[in-house]
């Protein structure tokens, strides 16, 4: 686990509610998308890379297009961002169905056989997972600036997601 990922997880774990975790974690996730874009996008004198990255309307989608997020991770991240936006505009609005969907997309993208998980979905666990795996992938990109293959069905990732859910209960 990278130092940055450890700091993210510790910061989120210190917060008591998923609303507080979303409020703190989604901006950190969005900043991480931009760092990943900087590492993944090849330098090109024909365009102003930094300006484009800074002004990108949806850096998460670009990170997905570069292959740094799996489809399920991208869907989970989208839903976490939506939850954070809903909680800002409508603080009392129900979001449990979004947590369920984000958890489903994330866990099935990690292990397609993990259908019978009996633990409750966790927005904090999903957010922590995304922050952690993206910082790991960012480090790999910085070491070897090539597309990072997102493996499907990594059993150790399922254990990681479960442990992060337990951290945020």
pLDDT tens across 121-138, in order?
Answer: 889 999 999 999 999 999
- What's the rounded Cα separation, in Å, for the pair 96 and 76? 13
pLDDT-above-90 percentage for the chain: 39
Residue whose token pair is 């600036």: 145
Q: What are the pLDDT digits (tens) for 86-114?
A: 989 998 899 999 999 998 888 888 776 66
Q: What is the pTM of this model?
A: 0.79
Task: Please give the full DSSP string across 4-17, using - where no structure is assigned.
Answer: HHHHHHHHHHH-SS
Name the residue ranges covered by the structural domains of the chain. Answer: 3-167
pLDDT above 80: residue 165: yes
In this predicted structure, what is the pLDDT of residue 135? 94
- What's the rounded Cα separation, in Å, for the pair 86 and 78? 12
Residues 6+ apart with CB under 8 A from 61: 74
Do 60 and 78 touch, CB atoms closer than 8 A?
Answer: yes
Do 9 and 132 touch, CB atoms closer than 8 A?
Answer: yes
Task: Please give the full DSSP string across 63-111, using - where no structure is assigned.
Answer: HHHTTSS-HHHHHHHHHHHHHHHHHHH-TT---HHHHHHHHHHHHHHH-
């Amino acid at each position: 686990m990278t130092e940055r990922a450890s700091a993210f997880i510790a910061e989120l774990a210190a917060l008591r509610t998923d609303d507080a975790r979303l409020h703190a974690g989604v901006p950190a996730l969005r900043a991480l998308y931009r760092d990943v874009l900087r590492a993944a996008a090849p330098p090109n004198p024909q365009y102003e890379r930094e300006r484009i990255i800074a002004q990108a309307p949806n850096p998460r989608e670009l990170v997905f297009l570069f292959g740094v997020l799996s489809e399920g991770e991208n869907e989970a991240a989208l839903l976490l961002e939506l939850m954070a936006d809903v909680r800002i505009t409508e603080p009392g609005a129900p979001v449990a169905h979004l947590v369920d969907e984000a958890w489903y997309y994330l866990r099935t993208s990690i292990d397609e056989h993990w259908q019978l998980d009996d633990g409750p979905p966790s927005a904090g666990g999903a957010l922590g997972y995304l922050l952690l795996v993206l910082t790991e992938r960012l480090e790999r990109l910085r070491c070897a600036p090539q597309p990072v293959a997102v493996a499907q069905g990594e059993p150790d990732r399922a254990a990681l997601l479960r442990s992060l859910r337990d951290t945020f209960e």
